[in-house]
Chains A and B, each alone.
Chain A
Amino acid sequence: MNPTAGEASSLLIWTMMISIGLITFLIRFAPIALLARLELPQWLKLALTYVPPAVMSAIITPALFFVDGAPTIDPDTPRIAAAVFAALIAWRTRSVLWTVVLGMIALWGLQALAR
């Protein structure tokens, strides 16, 4: 990579980080600064309830079907199976630690079997 391209990408990274950081801080700060004077409209409160499941599953699923961002013809079976198993563990234990540990063990086991 030539130096100009490196500098451009470094500028891009800093701009990205600082913008996201500022926006995120304002999202966190605005309601606290405006105290209880700010009453969110009911529809927005309702919509925000669905942000965590909608966004998080939208982030998770491509990671199971795509390898390195490119769509694969065969879905990554060990990953999908391990993810389903981990979801069951998460449901039973409600523990991030157990879900991560047992999910990783399941993935390694399934990958070894698939070989």
Chain B
Amino acid sequence: MPKISNARNELINGIRAITPMLMGIAPFGMVCGAAAVSTGLTPWQAFTMSWVIFAGSSQIAAMQLFASGAPLLIIISTAAVINLRFLMYSASIAPHFRRLNGRWHVLLAYLVTDQAYAQSIAHYLENKENEDLHWYFLGIAGALWVCWQISTVIGILLGSLTPQSWSLDFIMPLTFIAMVVPLLSTRAMLLAAVAGGSASVLLTLPLKLNLIAAALIGIAAGLLAEKLGQAK
């Protein structure tokens, strides 16, 4: 099979694989857009944020902290901690992008997300001799990016229209629940989640440091549980 057509096939395979997941991503994008304008950002600022940052969880956290008047440095470091997981994703997928040039690297790095990483690695594990993983990744991540921007704009437009009594802000925790729960298949992961969750409610720290502190406590709990599990 000629090379070009395999690249194209992989691009299309990626788009196909992500399509059902877009149904879950679209509401999350809309929530992000709506949350941004309800926090007091102008529609233009809210839209810029969705492509400058392009990482929903950190956008939501930043909005919540901003609304509660947290200092700039705390907002930025909390968002950075939330996005640190991309370090792991990028490091894990980097060997597959080795022979590509710098432009590809910038493009693919910008598009790294939970779903794009997870789906691409799963695809790689299924057919190992695939040399066009970057096209598959681009199909997944590109479709996700377009869906994210469109749904953010819809969220920005609807944000001011939907009445508060609909409790649509609840979609945000629901989306996170849907992403976290499947991860909790080991005792250590479960402990990390329980410790992080309880710490963030129980801790009262100045400067809104709760979130970072709770995250670190959760990570420590997970590591400890894993250590103890191995020691047995």
Contacts and interface: CB of A to CB of B under 8 A. Distances in A.
Interface string B78-104: 011111111111110111011000100
A113 to B, nearest CB: 14
Contacts of B219: 47, 50-51, 54
Interface residues of A, number: 67
Interface in A72-115: 79, 82-83, 86-87, 90-91, 94-97, 99-100, 103-104, 107-108, 111
A55 B182 contact: no
Contacts of A65: 201
28 contacts: A20-B52, A20-B58, A23-B80, A24-B58, A24-B79, A27-B80, A27-B84, A29-B110, A31-B94, A32-B93, A51-B81, A51-B82, A51-B84, A51-B219, A53-B183, A53-B218, A56-B176, A56-B179, A58-B218, A62-B200, A63-B173, A86-B174, A87-B181, A91-B181, A91-B182, A96-B28, A97-B23, A100-B174
Interface residues of B, number: 96
B198 interface: yes
A59 B95 contact: no
A89 to B, nearest CB: 8
Given A32-B93, A53-B192, 5 more contacts: A28-B90, A28-B109, A52-B179, A63-B172, A79-B170
B175 interface: yes
A81 B140 CA distance: 34
B177 A23 contact: no
B57 A97 contact: no
Contact of A61 (B25, B64, B198): B198
Interface of A: 9-10, 12-21, 23-25, 27-36, 38, 40, 45-65, 69, 79, 82-83, 86-87, 90-91, 94-97, 99-100, 103-104, 107-108, 111
A81 to B, nearest CB: 12
